[in-house]
Amino acid sequence: MLVAMKITSYFRDVVNRKHPGIEAALILRVMAEPLEERQQADGRYALWGLVPEAQNRALRVITLEDKETVHNAFFDRGYLRAVIRSQPNPPQAFPLSR
């Protein structure tokens, strides 16, 4: 299925080559139902969503101010760690037994 998506020239020329495994369907799914959304200082939006097909990694999608045009998309390695740290009682690592 071919999915139409508005993209910037940066996304077309750089991101597609850097992250060929990030499919348009995954990006559109995060845009439709983000776990978290933040407006950046430059007016762009950062949206996060979990991708079960990629071992539940967090996909961050950056859109322009219109929230429709995709500028960047990448798997955000630090997102889940930051979410866990922000919890009132984050789980503690267990010491290794000997």
Please indicate, yes or no, if residue 70 is contained in any of the structural domains. Answer: yes
Residue-number span of the structural domain to which 56 is assigned? 9-86
pLDDT of residue 77: 87
Please indicate, yes or no, if residue 95 is contained in any of the structural domains. Answer: no
* Per-residue pLDDT reduced to its tens digit, 27-59: 999 999 999 999 999 999 999 999 999 888 999
> What percentage of the chain carries pLDDT values higher than 70?
84
Please indicate, yes or no, if residue 63 is contained in any of the structural domains. Answer: yes
* Per-residue pLDDT reduced to its tens digit, 70-80: 999 999 988 87
Evaluate whether 64 touches 47 at the Cβ level (below 8 Å).
Answer: no
Evaluate whether 90 touches 84 at the Cβ level (below 8 Å).
Answer: yes
How high does pLDDT run on average in the chain?
A: 86
Tell me the mean pLDDT in the region 71-98.
70
Please indicate, yes or no, if residue 77 is contained in any of the structural domains. Answer: yes
Count: domains in the chain: 1
Q: How far apart are the C-alpha atoms of 27 and 3, rounded to whole Å?
A: 10
